[in-house]
């Protein structure tokens, strides 16, 4: 079985390398054609149709895992064409190739396909209404993959972070070392989800799917939500980060934390106020039960502490 991993240098892509390699012959692809450790891999720039097509052909993939995306939510408002090319048009091209070659596509999407106006966790079949260019592109990509006719699993996730890369946790830790006071939005709610959990669950879902009968495989195709369980605001997440980081010896002291409204921290793109996703379908079909977000935070802070003690940087 040949597995092509697109976006292998990203937060989720990096975490996917090890578990996917245990399922078959893994081929990694990045925009530059190099992995973050300097090693060579396939080049697949989703902004370039020719680059993507060459990578797909070279991989001879039977499973394509698309962890590549345009994720600069605010910048997407100023370059919607590029965001749409990567998050929508390229996904349509992946789907068309997969249909011709009878490959399965695993594609990641986002809570941003919803408008955030809800008081219960979002279900997969709830009405979508993205608030900005990023969410619009991701939703269009979902629909393009469905319309392609290719076999696919769309995994929507939210509030993704890791011990590496650019994310909320690492930003909070950096600012904690620079400032005595942090003002953090308290009226946006979600479930912080480690990239490592997404990767591990993806591999387990694929392993379960591959073990199914052909009829079961077809029935199980579609869209799923994949996040940690429980919920918190960004402010509550930031508070928990400071507590865990101090306990792990990553911070000498914690800055004073002040909750603010989204209106007090204007951004180019509007964020959904309620991003909690319902994971029941993933548990029902693939037996994957979500774990509380607090456990994920403890694990990721542990990774950072271990890296520091080993003199590593990320």
Q: How far is Cα 73 from Cα 132, in angstroms, rounded to an integer?
A: 8
Q: How far is Cα 212 from Cα 225, in angstroms, rounded to an integer?
A: 20
Q: What is the DSSP letter of 23?
A: T
Task: Give the CA dihedral 247, 253, 259, 264, nearest 10 degrees.
Answer: -130
Q: Residue 307 CB: number of other CB atoms within 10 A?
A: 14
249 contacts: CB under 8 Å, gap ≥ 6:
305
Q: Which residues are catalytic?
A: 134
Question: In this structure, what token pair is assigned to residue 8?
Answer: 């292998």
**What 3-state class would DSSP assign to 33?**
coil
Sign of the dihedral through C-alpha 18, 67, 34, 97: positive
Give which of 120, 121, 142 is closest to 130, Cα–Cα. Answer: 142
């Amino acid at each position: 079985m040949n597995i092509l991993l697109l976006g292998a240098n990203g937060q989720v892509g990096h975490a996917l390398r090890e578990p996917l390699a245990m399922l078959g012959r893994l081929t990694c692809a990045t925009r530059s054609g190099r992995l973050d450790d300097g090693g060579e891999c396939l080049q697949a720039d989703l902004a370039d149709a020719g680059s993507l097509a060459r990578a797909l052909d070279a991989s001879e993939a039977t499973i394509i895992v698309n962890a590549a995306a345009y994720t600069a939510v605010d910048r997407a408002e100023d370059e919607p064409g590029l965001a749409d090319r990567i998050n929508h048009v390229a996904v349509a091209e992946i789907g068309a190739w997969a249909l011709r070659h009878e490959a399965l596509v695993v594609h990641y999407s986002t809570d941003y396909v919803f408008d955030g106006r809800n008081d219960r966790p979002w279900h997969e079949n709830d009405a979508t209404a993205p608030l900005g260019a990023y969410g619009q592109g991701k939703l269009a990509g979902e629909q393009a993959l469905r319309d392609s006719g290719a076999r696919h699993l769309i995994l929507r996730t939210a509030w993704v972070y890791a011990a590496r890369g650019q994310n909320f946790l690492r930003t909070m830790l950096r600012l904690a070392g620079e400032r005595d006071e942090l003002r953090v939005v308290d009226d946006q709610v979600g479930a912080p989800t480690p990239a490592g959990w997404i990767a591990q669950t993806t591999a387990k879902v694929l392993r379960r799917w591959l073990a199914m009968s052909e009829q079961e495989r077809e029935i199980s195709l579609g869209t799923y939500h994949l996040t940690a369980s429980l919920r918190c605001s960004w402010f509550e997440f930031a508070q928990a980060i400071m507590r865990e980081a101090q306990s792990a010896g990553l911070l000498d002291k914690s800055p004073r934390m002040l909750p603010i409204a989204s209106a007090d921290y204007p951004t180019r793109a509007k964020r959904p106020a309620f991003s909690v996703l319902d994971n029941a379908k993933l548990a029902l079909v693939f037996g994957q039960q979500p774990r509380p977000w607090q456990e994920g935070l403890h694990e990721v802070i542990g990774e950072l502490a271990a890296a520091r003690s080993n003199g590593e940087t990320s």
